Amino acid sequence: MLFEDRFEAGRVLASKLSEFSGRDDVVVLALPRGGVPVGYEVARALKAQLDIFVVRKLGTPGQEELAMGALASGGVTVLNREVIQALGIPQQTIEAVVAREEKELERREREYRGERPAVNIRGRTAILVDDGLATGSSMRVAAKALRKEAAAEIVVAVPVASPSTCAEFETEVDRVVCAITPEPFWAVGQWYRDFSQTTDEEVRDLLARAASASLPRAA
């Protein structure tokens, strides 16, 4: 199966999540940028709130591609102690990297959300949405962050994922919904006819449209 674009993928995914429709305790959290068009369609179908959940990698000094942890919306930090200990990274270095990435995360949230406050997650069912899962590293950090923010239930939902990654998440969150799990799986983009990059402007527009719709508001 090929999805026409992320919007169609969102509609297909929403059909797998009908049990969450109309519940005022449900919030859809999309990982920007590619997850936002998917999340928009899911939130619209479920009559749920839509918000973003930003994840920033904490790169090790001099080896930025090697993550020593990650930072997520709400200021939640998840550290990889094995990497930190193996490289002997001092606490002051960790704090400096976290401070820098916190500023960038906050900038991105303002860029996307504007003056709208973040959705209240505590005690609610959070449906984490992206356009697909390959390694699932960003989604994994987001799920851990939501645990720390006291979400009542965490659901990972994606249109497409590798079978192994989808199976791995079943032990990490409360529910996993992968619309299709093709094998062999090489990359998320191969399952979309149109996988062009979602722009910042599109993210802002979709969040604004969702916020102005007749959706339930956080308590």
- Same topology, domains 6-53+114-212 and 56-113? Answer is no
Question: What is the pTM assigned to this prediction?
Answer: 0.87
Question: Which amino acid would we find at residue 45?
Answer: A
Contact 129, 13 (CB under 8 A): yes
CATH T-level fold of 6-53+114-212: Rossmann fold (3.40.50)
Give the model's pLDDT for residue 99: 92
76-79 sheet: strands from edge to edge: 55-60, 63-72, 76-79
Which of the residue ranges 74-78, 125-129, 176-180 would you say has the lowest mean pLDDT? 74-78
Give the model's pLDDT for residue 21: 96
Give the model's pLDDT for residue 212: 86
* Distance from C-alpha of 176 to C-alpha of 168, rounded to nearest angstrom: 10
pLDDT tens for residues 32-79?
A: 999 999 999 999 999 999 999 998 889 888 887 788 988 988 778 888
Residue 84 contacts by C-beta under 8 Å, 6 or more apart in sequence? 68, 69, 94
CB atoms within 10 A of CB 175: 16
Q: Which two tokens stand for residue 184?
A: 């062999």
> Under CATH, which architecture does the 56-113 domain have?
2-Layer Sandwich (3.30)
Domain ranges of the chain: 6-53+114-212, 56-113
**Can you list the pairs that 21-24 forms with residues at least 24 positions away whose Cβ atoms lie under 8 Å?**
21/45, 21/46, 21/47, 22/46, 22/47, 23/48, 23/125, 24/216
